[in-house]
Amino acid sequence: MARTSAQQRNKEATKLADIASARNAINTSTMAAAALVPADKPLTDKQRQFVKFWAEGDTIPNAMQRAGYNEQPSYGYRMAKMPNIQAEFDRIKAKWEEAAQTSRQQVMEMHKEAFEMAKMMAEPATMVSAAREIGRMCGYYEPVKQKIEFTVNGQIAVKRLEAMSDEDLIKLVTEGLQAGQAAQAQEALEMAQDDDITDV
């Protein structure tokens, strides 16, 4: 069956709209870019599944896998930074807390109590388990984010070092080593003098 020209135009318009929509998609290739996603942006079905599994207690990589994502875990961590994902996560967590009539603080208190009971009963494995859960709740196992700031003064210092000859660089390093050794010797002398004073 031949398509009419109206059907053909409609199909082309739909295709162009899809392309325009894809071009306007938000770049989420970095954590910083993911954090800029609008909080009111609707979630896809996969994202809803991811958030559901994550809020139920799965790790981010496990929640991704269960939701059907094949991407690297880093994509899940970027998704977790998106305000729309975070809002849904908070909503589901609040629902779970309300249903269980518990709060994060109450759960923390339960783990602390379990730790103390295990300590009294001399059960180190149970103590470690309770401590691990407390650590998870406090976020101690989350990846550590390091921020490096490079100032204009640092750039000037680097440019000065780059402009120096090899002989000047060697001289600078030698002077630095000698100054460090002199400082260590002075510190050792001061410690020895302190020891002599306390012995008197």
75-118 residue pLDDT tens = 889 999 999 999 999 998 888 777 777 777 888 888 889 889 88
Instruction: Answer with the residue of higher pLDDT: 32 or 18.
Output: 32
**Helical segments of 29-139, H only:** 31-34, 45-55, 60-67, 73-81, 83-100, 104-120, 124-138
What tokens appear for 65 in the block? 């896998």
106-138 residue pLDDT tens = 888 888 898 898 889 998 898 888 888 888 887
pLDDT the model gives residue 20: 52
pLDDT the model gives residue 10: 75
The domain ranges of the chain are: 26-101, 103-141, 164-194
pLDDT the model gives residue 149: 65
Residue 183 has pLDDT above 80, yes or no: no
pLDDT the model gives residue 86: 93
20-69 residue pLDDT tens = 555 556 777 788 888 888 888 899 999 999 999 998 888 999 999 999 99
pLDDT the model gives residue 11: 76
CB 100 within 8 A of CB 92: no
133-167 residue pLDDT tens = 888 887 777 776 666 666 666 677 778 888 888 88
Residue 199 has φ and ψ, to the nearest 5°, of -75, -25
pLDDT the model gives residue 47: 92
